[in-house]
Chains A and B, each alone.
Chain A
Amino acid sequence: MALDYEESKQKIIEGLKKKQKTKSKFYFNDLSKILNAKPREAKKIVNRMVEEGLLEYWSSGSTSMYGLPGTGKQAAAEHED
């Protein structure tokens, strides 16, 4: 059964906010675990959240991670809002 977007969105935002004190960037696997969904199902939700600006990508060049926009050191260090 396809995941409900609004419900999944809230789950991810709350899940990431809860861990905000220790982490600001998350692997894709962390997000699919929050949703308790198969990767391909989770990807649909995550992609839409990025499109809507609710999540942002971070890349080291070799690894990609996801975070809530404006969180973590990077956002301030890069002088980008």
Chain B
Amino acid sequence: MAKHETPMLDQLESGPWPSFVSDMKALAEKRAKNEEGIEFQIPTDVVEDILGVLELSYKHGRTHWKHGGIVGVFGYGGGVIGRYCDQPEMFPGVAHFHTMRVNQPGGKFYTTDYLRKLCDLWDFRGSGVMNMHGSTGDIIFLGTTTPQLEEIFYEMTHNLNQDLGGSGSNLRTPSDCIGQARCEFACYDTQDLCYDLTQEYQDELHRPAFPYKFKFKFDGCPNCCVASIARSDLSFIGTWRDDIKIDQEAVQAYIGGELKPNGGAHSGRDWGPFDIQKEVLDLCPTKCMWMEGKELKIDNKECNRCMHCINVMPRALRIGDDRGITILAGAKAPILDGAQMGTLIVPFIKAEPPYTEIKENVIEPIWDWWMEEGKNRERLGELMKRQGLQKMIEILGVDPDPRMVQEPRSNPYIFWKEEEVPGGWKRDIKEFRKYHQR
């Protein structure tokens, strides 16, 4: 018999998808039985109380969580978020229900042993409810009490070799794709850059002094598996400067049906024979590909890195050899002004350790500008919009580049200044009037 009646939550379970309600009910039952004999450090019925408070929120159409808190671990201004329930008598198990963020390993590679240790720690000192992964990418521990925080932090940092992630007005936990560890499309070592910047910017990760949150994300190629272009203030996307490599024999093997397109990913039904014209050439957004007899040709300077052809024919087409990173800035979710995608600020930069150029010429000047000029709770993308891309270019000390213009004529935000124009704005009015009447 459940502790609280939850008719509305029960209805959620009736849909065709896996349900978090079913998962939480299973966990509540597991904690109640406690067959493993765990000495729970927070109330055993915590999960039942989460379901209860959620049902009440659905009934009232309002949240029953209070806003934020002062709790944390010593020396860190992020990684712990105070959460308190405003109905503690009704739901004592979740009166204190703090969230902890755990800095996920690079590429989200775990061993089962590591995962088991994390879960054991959380069953013992927390609610057992966790979120794999939050949209920042980190592992989220949902729900524990204040006295457990330092204990969990000690255990993680001393025995699991694991740090907390970022929250609040901090650098958030940097997040990367699986990269060169498993993926042939990766143009740089995402995990190395992610780890290097995580170590370099520990102070920014743990001690908040930014106007608002700031996110780094690292995508090895323009497929953007961690969606850096849409979700991060500074997005690092792998690219190449030379030509896409073509294996003409493999192209013919795709056309002939010996190789399955998309690595066989769409094998659930018969889509008919592969049609390179319809499935690749016609779908190229810049129309830079064509067949000359049996040869596939690409006008590489027109390629905008959509990755479609490479994804469809990975054995025939490969990323180029002169590889590096494109950096975009200012993406964000829609709290103010709607969602924004990143704006290109660095078309190409080499990604080689120790990444000094990226740190000193890109990241740090941007932070200095944003920390000084950014309003409270203003994301980098909003500051760029308010002060203009031109200002951003000045900060970075780079020349305007046509590739920075997202939509020609609709947002012509690159203007000349007087000192950049020979003769300035002054003109001889008499000479002008010879040709133009008043």
Contacts and interface: CB of A to CB of B under 8 A. Distances in A.
Interface of A: 27-29, 38-40, 42-43, 46-47, 50-51, 56-64, 67, 74-75, 77-78, 80
6 contacts: A28-B211, A38-B372, A40-B209, A43-B209, A63-B212, A64-B78
Contacts of A58: 68-70
Contact of B70 (A27, A43, A56, A61): A56
A46 B371 CA distance: 15
Nearest to B67: A60
Contacts of A63: 168-169, 212-213, 376-377
Nearest to B376: A27
A51 to B, nearest CB: 7
Nearest to B66: A77
A7 B168 CA distance: 28
Given A62-B213, A77-B84, A57 B376 contact: no
B81 A59 contact: yes
Nearest to B209: A43
B68 A60 contact: yes
A60 B92 CA distance: 22
B77 interface: yes
B185 interface: no
Given A38-B372, A39-B209, A61-B99, A78 B71 contact: yes
B72 interface: yes
Contacts of A43: 207, 209
A38 B210 CA distance: 12
Given A57-B72, A59-B78, A59-B82, 4 more contacts: A59-B68, A59-B70, A59-B72, A61-B167
Given A28-B209, A43-B207, A43-B209, A64 B77 contact: yes
A59 B207 CA distance: 12
Contact of A46 (B68, B81, B209, B210): B209
Nearest to A80: B146
A57 B146 contact: no
A61 B79 CA distance: 9
Nearest to A59: B168
Interface string B48-89: 000000000000000000111111100101101110100000
Contact of A62 (B75, B168, B207): B168
B208 interface: yes
B77 A59 contact: yes
A47 B207 contact: yes
A36 to B, nearest CB: 13
Given A40-B371, A78-B84, A28 B69 contact: no
B376 A29 contact: yes
B345 to A, nearest CB: 21
A56 to B, nearest CB: 6
Contact of B170 (A56, A64, A80): A64
B368 interface: yes
A61 B169 contact: no
Given A38-B372, A59-B167, A28 B210 contact: yes
A39 B371 contact: yes
Contacts of B70: 56-59, 67, 74-75, 78, 80
Contacts of B81: 59-61
A61 B66 CA distance: 12
A32 B209 CA distance: 10
A72 B221 CA distance: 48
Contacts of B167: 59, 61-62
B145 to A, nearest CB: 11
